[in-house]
Structure 1
């Protein structure tokens, strides 16, 4: 009887801690190391990504993209700032324009992205990423973690999650483990996300600009449109009113050719 009472007290204590944590709004900063050219190991680059979470939802996006959007919004709210002149160096650059919103009470998440000048979104089931949890553990950046594996969109992944942070979430689309994903990488280590910072913020940011038309499509349709753009990028840019010389066209094609290793390789 005493043992059962002790277990009950532990459960109540854990539940209270989880509820207290859920009342907070967290900002997790992940470092993403990625290889944009599958044929060139020296093409690896680094970019910070942000995961905002509260008790209802999370938002995952590029840190530079978040800061860029914040500057743009500030200029919209204060036109006098724009009148003083805008320097291109003010806007942080990012290779990742996507934003992923996960609603904790729903069975799917929403993926937003931009292709040239058009904005798209699609919904995807959280069950599209099935996990296998192992008993292997190790400490990463001060957190005791447990190993899990999965396969998604043509890549095999190893994840390390920690129930010391009782949030069922992680970077990119990865979701559903009994603790926050501290590190996840594909088998070739072409994409490696690792948690570097944990902080709290005053409010959940709004990261999707609904003032612009957003076309709802399927994931397959979005991938088709992205591939079509990459194949015809020079033509699309020219059609938008820009005059491109042959040298610039060659540079655009060369850059796109080297960006041959997206995080999602297949449907």
Structure 2
């Protein structure tokens, strides 16, 4: 039932004919990362997987999920919502959740040094509301270690830091003189090719590096109306959905002018999730 309601919301919410785009600057490097995100600390086999893209320009970089981008592109085309829905139902019918279209782990688009000296996040909550968050761009306070390892054929050096409630380990390649990395991680004398928190709830591993034939660093979905908010407020809102204090389907239907009520199932009502966001300083 929830899946069918979700498809109804998609069909109403996505009505544009093309995904709008604003080019910011040419890209000079693109790194693809495999992301594994633990969904439940009580079940180590419950892992969300995604393919993330870091696209780096001369002064600005963008980071986003390949699956979120392709879903946005599909849903913005004529008949895209119907194609999306058919693929969704087909995957459910076959019982193969790995083929479900849509967002795998995150719908966030992160821009470092845009505007200058800031980080911009373009986010979509689970009720299909859009938000823009701008915060100061302050690289992590890394401590470089002596340990080395090879990642994607490059010799990498270890670095550690504490950042917004988690302790991280990063492996950066000095041979790639780009002070950037996955997600919001940056500030080392070389590209971060692998990074994870010490609890291994979130783990990024580089799988491909491209330096030619690149698409530009760009803003996507520029026709959407983004509500400005701050990071802590947004994380608290998402926490309410995560822990069942708000109902995403009812909120989404209300935003679209619909009156859809979804009763909580006896097995899920009040259920506490055993995982949290990468940033845990909102609590």
Q: Sort the Cα spacing of 1:253 and 1:38 in 2 relative to 1 into closer, same or farther, 3 A.
A: same
1:1-267 matched pairs, under 5 angstroms: 25-73=28-76, 75=77, 79=78, 82=79, 86-88=83-85, 89=87, 91-103=101-113, 106-115=116-125, 116-127=127-138, 129-199=140-210, 200-230=212-242, 231-233=245-247, 235-237=250-252, 239=254, 241=258, 243-244=260-261, 246=263, 249-250=264-265, 253=268, 257-258=272-273, 260-267=275-282
Question: SS of the counterpart of 1:176?
Answer: coil
Q: Sort the Cα spacing of 1:83 and 1:45 in 2 relative to 1 into closer, same or farther, 3 A.
A: closer
Q: Sort the Cα spacing of 1:23 and 1:113 in 2 relative to 1 into closer, same or farther, 3 A.
A: closer
Q: CA deviation at 1:191?
A: 0.5
* Alignment deviations for residues 222-254 of structure 1 (CA, whole Å, 9 cap, x no partner): 2222223441125425645364554xx328946
Q: Sort the Cα spacing of 1:255 and 1:135 in 2 relative to 1 into closer, same or farther, 3 A.
A: farther
Aligned equivalents of 2:270, 2:191: Cα separation in 1: 35
* Alignment deviations for residues 176-199 of structure 1 (CA, whole Å, 9 cap, x no partner): 111100100111111110100112
Aligned equivalents of 1:50, 1:204: Cα separation in 2: 12
Aligned equivalents of 1:251, 1:94: Cα separation in 2: 26
Aligned equivalents of 1:47, 1:251: Cα separation in 2: 31
Please, what TM-score do these two structures have when normalized by structure 1? 0.78
Q: Which has the higher contact order (CA 8 A, sep 6+)?
A: 2
Structure 2 unmatched runs, 5+:
1-24, 89-100
Q: CA deviation at 1:166?
A: 1.1
Q: CA deviation at 1:114?
A: 1.1
Q: CA deviation at 1:121?
A: 1.7
| Matched length | 238
Aligned equivalents of 1:171, 1:154: Cα separation in 2: 17
Aligned equivalents of 1:227, 1:84: Cα separation in 2: 28
Aligned equivalents of 2:197, 2:84: Cα separation in 1: 38
Aligned equivalents of 1:154, 1:219: Cα separation in 2: 14
Q: Sort the Cα spacing of 1:65 and 1:251 in 2 relative to 1 into closer, same or farther, 3 A.
A: farther
Aligned equivalents of 2:47, 2:266: Cα separation in 1: 19
Which protein is richer in helix relative to its size? 1
Structure 1 unmatched runs, 5+:
1-21
Q: CA deviation at 1:205?
A: 4.8
Please say which structure displays the higher CA radius of gyration. Answer: 1
Which residue number corresponds to residue 3 of structure 1? Answer: none
- Aligned CA RMSD, in angstroms, stands at 2.9
Query: 1:161·1:183 contact (CA, 8 Å) conserved in 2?
Result: yes
